[in-house]
Chains A and B, each alone.
Chain A
Amino acid sequence: MLEVKDLHVYYGAIHALKGISFKVEDGEIVTIIGANGAGKSTTLRTISGLLRPKKGEILLNGVHLEKMKAKDIVKMGVCQVPEGRRIFANMSVLENLELGAYLRNDKDGIKNDFDRVFSLFPRLAERRTQLAGTLSGGEQQMLAIGRALMSRPKIILMDEPSMGLAPILVEQIFNVIKEINSEGTTVLLVEQNAYMALTTAKEAYVIETGNIVMGGQAMDLLNNEQVRKAYLG
Chain B
Amino acid sequence: MQQFLQQMVNGLSLGSIYALIALGYTMVYGIIRLINFAHGDIYMLGAFAGFFAISAFHLSFIPSLIISMAICALAGMLIKRVAYKPLRTAPRISMLITAIGVSLFLENGGLMVFSPSIRTFPTVFPVKTFSFFGGLVKLTVKDIVVLTVMIVMLILLQYLVYRTKIGKAMRAVSFDKDAASLMGVDVDTTISYTFAIGSALAAVAGVLVGIYYNSVWPLMGIMPGLKAFIAAVLGGIGIIPGAVLGGLLIGVTETLVAGYGNSLYRDGVAFAILIIVLLLRPSGLLGKNQREKV
Contact = CB atoms under 8 A, between A and B. Distances in A.
B58 to A, nearest CB: 42
B171 interface: yes
A90 B171 contact: yes
B278 to A, nearest CB: 23
Contacts of A80: 182
A100 B180 CA distance: 9
Contacts of A22: none
A49 B181 contact: yes
Contacts of A86: 176, 178-179, 182
A88 B172 contact: yes
Place the interface of chain B in its size category: 10 to 19
A74 B184 contact: yes
B162 to A, nearest CB: 9
Given A99-B172, A102-B169, A88 B179 contact: yes
Nearest to A81: B182
A102 B178 contact: no
A228 B182 CA distance: 34
A100 to B, nearest CB: 6
Contact of A82 (B169, B175, B178): B178
A219 interface: no
A71 B175 contact: no
B184 A151 contact: yes
Interface string A133-166: 0000000000000010001000000000000000
Contacts of B179: 82, 86-88
Contact of A75 (B165, B172, B176, B184): B184
B175 A95 contact: no
B175 A70 contact: no
Given A88-B175, A99-B172, A70 B165 contact: no
Nearest to B293: A89
Given A88-B175, A88-B176, A99 B181 contact: no
Interface in A55-84: 69-71, 74-75, 79-80, 82
Majority-rule SS of B interface residues = helix
Interface string A146-188: 0100010000000000000000000000000000000000000
Contacts of A99: 168, 172, 180, 183, 185
B264 to A, nearest CB: 43
Contacts of A103: 183-184
A47 to B, nearest CB: 11
Contacts of A69: 186
A222 B259 CA distance: 81
Interface residues of A, number: 26
A74 B185 CA distance: 9
B182 A70 contact: yes
A87 B175 CA distance: 9
A78 to B, nearest CB: 10
Contacts of A89: 175
A213 interface: no
A98 interface: yes
A71 B186 CA distance: 6
Contacts of A98: 168
A102 B176 contact: no
B171 A88 contact: yes
A50 to B, nearest CB: 6
Choose among A49, A75, A88, A98 the residue with the greatest number of B CB atoms under 10 Å from its CB. A88
B182 A102 contact: no
B172 to A, nearest CB: 6
A74 B183 contact: yes
A161 B176 CA distance: 19
A33 B288 CA distance: 39
A75 B169 CA distance: 16
Nearest to A74: B184
Interface string B164-198: 01001101100110111111111000000000000
A128 to B, nearest CB: 16
A10 B105 CA distance: 38
B93 to A, nearest CB: 19
Contacts of B168: 91, 95, 98-99, 102
A90 B176 CA distance: 11
Interface of B: 165, 168-169, 171-172, 175-176, 178-186
13 contacts: A49-B181, A50-B182, A75-B184, A80-B182, A82-B182, A86-B179, A88-B171, A88-B172, A88-B179, A91-B172, A95-B168, A103-B184, A147-B183
Interface of A: 45, 48-50, 69-71, 74-75, 79-80, 82, 86-91, 95, 98-100, 102-103, 147, 151
